[in-house]
Amino acid sequence: MSHYATAIKLQENLASKVVTKDIVKKIQSICAVDVSYKDQGANAAAVIVDTQTLEVIDHAVSRTFIKAPYVPGLLALRESDPVLSALKLLKEGFDVLLVDGNGQLHPRKCGLACYLGIVLNKPTIGVAKSLLCGQIKGNDVKLNGKNLGKIIEKRKGKKIFVSVGHNISLKTAFRLVESLIREGEWLPEPLLLADKYSKAPVS
Residue type, 138: G
pLDDT at 1 over 50: no
Angle at which helix 3-15 crosses helix 75-88, to 10 degrees, equals 70
Amino acid 60: pLDDT:
96
CA 91/CA 33 separation, integer angstroms: 15
Overall number of domains in the chain: 1
pLDDT at 139 over 70: yes
Residue type, 48: I
Amino acid 69: pLDDT:
65
pLDDT at 81 over 90: no
CA 184/CA 199 separation, integer angstroms: 22
Cβ proximity of 117 and 152 under 8 Å: no
Closest CA to 20 of 104, 82, 115, 95: 104
pLDDT tens across 97-119, in order?
999 999 999 998 889 999 999 99
pLDDT tens across 140-160, in order?
999 988 999 999 999 888 999
pLDDT at 202 over 90: no
Phi/psi of residue 70, nearest 5 degrees: -75, 120
Angle at which helix 75-88 crosses helix 112-120, to 10 degrees, equals 40
User: Which residue segment(s) compose the domain that 122 sits in?
Assistant: 3-199
CA 129/CA 112 separation, integer angstroms: 14
pLDDT tens across 164-187, in order?
999 999 999 999 999 999 999 999
Q: What is the mean pLDDT of residues 125-147?
A: 93
Instruction: Look at the pTM and tell me if it is higher than 0.85.
Output: yes
7 versus 38: which is more confidently predicted? 38
Residues contacting residue 53 through CB under 8 Å, at least 6 positions apart = none
Closest CA to 169 of 179, 177, 159, 180: 177
Amino acid 3: pLDDT:
64
Mean pLDDT of the chain: 90
pLDDT tens across 41-73, in order?
889 999 999 999 999 999 999 988 777 666 666
Q: What is the mean pLDDT of residues 82-101?
A: 95
CATH number of the domain enclosing 56? 3.30.2170.10
